[in-house]
Amino acid sequence: MTYEKIVDKITKAYAKAETTGIDGHKAIQINVRGEGEGALYIEAVKGHFNVQPYEYYDNDAVVTVSSKVLIDILDGDIEPEAAYAEQKLHVMGDAHTANKILSLRKVNIAKKTVKKAAKKVVEVAMPVVEAAKPVAQKAVEETKKAAEAAKPVAEKAVKETKKVAQKAVEAAKPVAQKAVEETKKAAEAAKPVAKNAVKETKKAVKETKKTVKKAAASASKAIKAAAQSVKEDQEADKAEKAAEKAKKAAKKAKKAAEQAEKAAFEAEVAKAEKAVKEAAKKEEGQE
């Protein structure tokens, strides 16, 4: 296989593969030895793979492998770990990243396997389906015949059922009619009772209205009386307070009068003493 075909096969293998489990930007360089010799790189970036036929110096790992082993890995005939263990594949650098990138081509391999399996199932099933067609056709015809044969029996059963139903309806009619008549009689008998009950109810309502009206009037009177009593109590409280004030004023007036009387007495006494003293001085002067 030529170098160009190897690059094309790898590009197709990774075209729809997802970068599951790979964080950030990762890249490996693959050095193919032997047939189709050359260098290329596989780069995981932004959720998809990019395959280019160049060397990639800023790589995470360099994988050296023969074109045959590389194709076997791409086709799923050998796992990268097994090739590494058997020294058919050599890794320089981050072996984990190299193994991760080489293993993610399994997505496409799995899809191809499913398609192949589905195709094989169809190929195997088609002869069985073709062989079953006459049997299925015969079963359909037998079913149709059985249905045709059953028609008279089914029609007869339907007729018999209708007859039985009709008889049951006819037998039930007198009973239903009697029940209707009895219901009408009961309704007629109940009319006077219902009418009387309505009358009594109206009367009771009227009496209740009167009672409520009287109770409302009594309540109104009681409220007015209570209000008057409260008012009188308030007036009595005011009078009592005024009397207390008058009493206090009288006490103050009495005290003031007593003080005035005492002051007047003291003034008269002082005046008299002064007069006595002056008289005594005059007598002394005369002597």
User: Which pLDDT score, from 0 to 100, does residue 199 have?
Assistant: 87
- Examine residue 14 and state whether it is found in any structural domain, yes or no: yes
Which one-letter amino acid corresponds to residue 154? A
Residue 164: pLDDT band (50, 70, 90) is: low
The domain total for the chain is: 1
Domain span holding position 20 = 3-104
Domain annotation covers residue 284: no
Per-residue pLDDT tens digits for 18-56: 888 898 999 999 999 999 999 999 999 988 999 999 999
pLDDT class of 115 with cuts at 50, 70, 90: low
On whether residue 217 sits in a domain, the answer given is no
pLDDT band per the 50, 70, 90 thresholds, residue 139 = low
Q: In degrees rounded to 5, what are phi and psi of residue 59?
A: -95, 165
Res 119: pLDDT:
63
Residue 120: is it exposed, middle or buried by C-beta count within 10 angstroms (0-12/13-18/19+)?
Answer: exposed
Tell me, yes or no, if the pTM score tops 0.75.
no
Q: Looking at beta carbons, which pairs linking 156-160 to residues 24 or more positions away fall under 8 Å?
A: none
> Is residue 55 a part of any domain in this protein?
yes
Domain annotation covers residue 40: yes
pLDDT per residue as tens digits for the range 46-97: 889 999 999 999 999 999 999 999 999 999 999 999 999 999 999 999 999 9
User: What percentage of residues in the chain have a pLDDT greater than 70?
Assistant: 78
